[in-house]
Chain A
């Protein structure tokens, strides 16, 4: 029988790590379970709106969070689980948390701060060629495609940001966009349109990603079905937004139509004893600084709940 923690925090992004620090200061025996450290924040290039740092990179800020959390290691255990949490269930008194590898842990209260994951396209070849030409982080993987032709799938700000990010490295960029016009900020659209080696293909969708060992081409078609063609590319950057990582929570806590966890101003979910914080929730703004604040709020509320228990 493993021990029962006061609190299990799921996720080690800005919300989860801040919750960890606050929980430690309340002397709660805490376990953080996370797939990685930093979450989406560690993919950010330049952060210029986190107070105290006029400019810091995502990885550097995450390292500072991690170092800060490390000071509380007597109370907070941080465990990386590549398979992640797959189930939370309510038991008589506590909550049981199951990971993908079958391991189980138990706690009196839970904070869910698992953030968001990149949305996939769901087309043939996407999974097979992951890291073989298909990537979800242009900032991280773009340099590997220096001098090559690449496609960026999407037409919003993240797709435009990806195009600007890798434009100096690659030979030709095709933007394959599902809507009649690009949908990002006008300033970004103007910058992207001004790039010398860009081709914007509106009203088009990806049918399949193909290749032998690595990606060699993508097949695209017009949304009215009239046109189908192959684009020879070595890289495919999928930038079609992100989704809250809540698929394992259905039925346990209330989700909204976008599958975000519905919380109130106390970070309470619809299940007593389970709190949630950061990008995974219905909180309006998804920023690093707001996620950190939400993590603090959730941990304080969890400690109040545990004190009453």
Chain B
């Protein structure tokens, strides 16, 4: 599987973040979770990367995915 460094920006109430986590687990993709409520100082980092404030945001080795975009995740991790 991919050796990209993967960061998932999330909040405790985000529905689609759960879908992303399941996707990563199913595909045995390792990732770091950043809970933005616990880590207020990293909200700006997420906004800078994605240009918006919705979660989930995934940073897969510099490639940014907003939302649970399965087709895009498939194309990134199939590489």
What are the residues of chain A within 8 A of B13 when measuring CB–CB? 45, 139-140, 142-143
Looking at the assembled complex, report how far the CB atom of B56 sits from the nearest CB atom of chain A, in whole angstroms.
11
What are the residues of chain B within 8 A of A59 when measuring CB–CB? 15, 18
Residue A115 at the chain B interface, CB threshold 8 Å: no
Looking at the assembled complex, report how far the CB atom of A216 sits from the nearest CB atom of chain B, in whole angstroms.
13
Bound-state CA distance A166–B56 (Å) is: 19
A42 nearest CB neighbor, chain B only: B15
Determine chain A's interface SS by DSSP, over half rule: mixed
Looking at the assembled complex, report how far the CB atom of B13 sits from the nearest CB atom of chain A, in whole angstroms.
6
Contact B18 A146 (CB under 8 A): no
Q: Which of B4-20 contact A (CB under 8 A)?
A: 11-15, 18
Looking at the assembled complex, report how far the CB atom of B16 sits from the nearest CB atom of chain A, in whole angstroms.
8
With an 8 Å Cβ cutoff, the count of chain B residues facing the other chain is 18
B47 nearest CB neighbor, chain A only: A214
Looking at the assembled complex, report how far the CB atom of A132 sits from the nearest CB atom of chain B, in whole angstroms.
5
B22 nearest CB neighbor, chain A only: A63
Binary interface profile of A, 30-55, with partner B (CB < 8 Å = 1, else 0)?
00000000100011010000000000
Interface residues, chain A, CB within 8 Å of chain B?
Answer: 38, 42-43, 45, 58-59, 80, 131-133, 135, 139-144, 146-147, 169, 213-214
Determine chain B's interface SS by DSSP, over half rule: loop
Residue B37 at the chain A interface, CB threshold 8 Å: yes
Q: Which 4 pairs show the lowest CB-CB distances between chains A and B? A: A131-B54, A143-B11, A131-B52, A143-B37
Looking at the assembled complex, report how far the CB atom of B63 sits from the nearest CB atom of chain A, in whole angstroms.
19
What are the residues of chain A within 8 A of B12 when measuring CB–CB? 143
B55: contacting residue among A58, A144, A147, CB under 8 A? A144
B35 nearest CB neighbor, chain A only: A143
B53: contacting residue among A42, A43, A139, A141, CB under 8 A? A141
B68 nearest CB neighbor, chain A only: A36
Contact B15 A58 (CB under 8 A): yes
What are the residues of chain B within 8 A of A42 when measuring CB–CB? 15
Looking at the assembled complex, report how far the CB atom of B49 sits from the nearest CB atom of chain A, in whole angstroms.
13
A133 nearest CB neighbor, chain B only: B53
Contact B40 A146 (CB under 8 A): yes
